[in-house]
Amino acid sequence: MSEAWILARKELRAYFDSPVAYVVLSLFLLLTGWFFSTGLFLENVASVRRVFDYVPFFFLFFIPAITMSTFAEERRSGTIELLLTLPVRDWQVIVGKLLAVSVFVATAIAATLVYAVTVASLGDIDFGATVGGYLGLVLLGISCGAIGIFASSLTRNQIVAFIIGFGIIFVLYLVDKVTDFVPGSLATVLQYLGTDFHYRNLLRGVIDTRDILYYVSLTVFAGLCTAYSLARRPE
């Protein structure tokens, strides 16, 4: 794992050496701050629930934006062959890039803790739902990050990688919302596949291992798909 962490630090430096990271973080905090302050000052509601409700939707755009260059740029510049011929395994490269994305996403989520602190200082806060909400955001962010990395491994064009990543994450976000239009057995399967379904379970403050296992499985599956995509690269 030491090699993976070295690669993760390299990726993090690359993020913050470009304006993309700062733009994404600024927009993320601006939007979450807007919805929190709107509820607090205009509706007189001291709650972080609005933030928890909207962040998964923001992830549809922000996570593909920060992952689109992970492999696509390496392919475009031709450095991917150099990277993958170093004395590291493909899985270490994938884990390193995922660690970097996870740290970036966790940093963005941690910045919103100021809203929870504000609510706690103004009155009672639902501790269980808040912990569940933040746990759900971290797990959702990491799994979406793994999907975005997979999308980036499929192409050398960052815009195409963004579109593919957005499309996959959007389908998984939406899939549990069409259960009213399909037969019962299929509805159960679609509901389980939906990222938002498991997130809403955690947001109720109920930490169910089945929901955690879902996100872990999705992350691992996306990582395996990325490894397969890299293994098929032309020699």
CB 8 within 8 A of CB 100: yes
Q: What is the pLDDT of residue 182?
A: 77
- Give the domain extent around 75: 2-231
Sequential pLDDT tens for the chain (235 residues): 677 888 888 888 888 887 878 888 899 999 998 888 887 776 666 678 888 999 999 999 999 999 998 888 777 776 666 666 666 777 888 898 999 999 999 999 999 999 888 888 877 788 888 999 999 999 999 999 999 999 999 988 999 999 999 999 999 999 988 877 777 778 888 888 999 999 999 998 888 899 999 999 999 999 999 999 888 765 4
How far apart, in whole angstroms, are the C-alpha atoms of residue 116 and residue 46?
Answer: 9
Of all residues in the chain, what percent are helix, strand and coil, respectively (each to 5)?
Answer: 85, 0, 15
56 half-sphere exposure, CB direction, 13 A CA radius = 27
Q: What is the pLDDT of residue 99?
A: 93
pTM, rounded to two decimals: 0.89
Q: Which amino acid is at 229?
A: S
Q: What is the pLDDT of residue 4?
A: 80
Q: What is the pLDDT of residue 235?
A: 46
How far apart, in whole angstroms, are the C-alpha atoms of residue 145 and residue 21?
Answer: 14
How far apart, in whole angstroms, are the C-alpha atoms of residue 109 and residue 103?
Answer: 10
Q: What is the pLDDT of residue 79?
A: 65
Q: What's the number of domains the chain is made of?
A: 1
How far apart, in whole angstroms, are the C-alpha atoms of residue 31 and residue 92?
Answer: 34
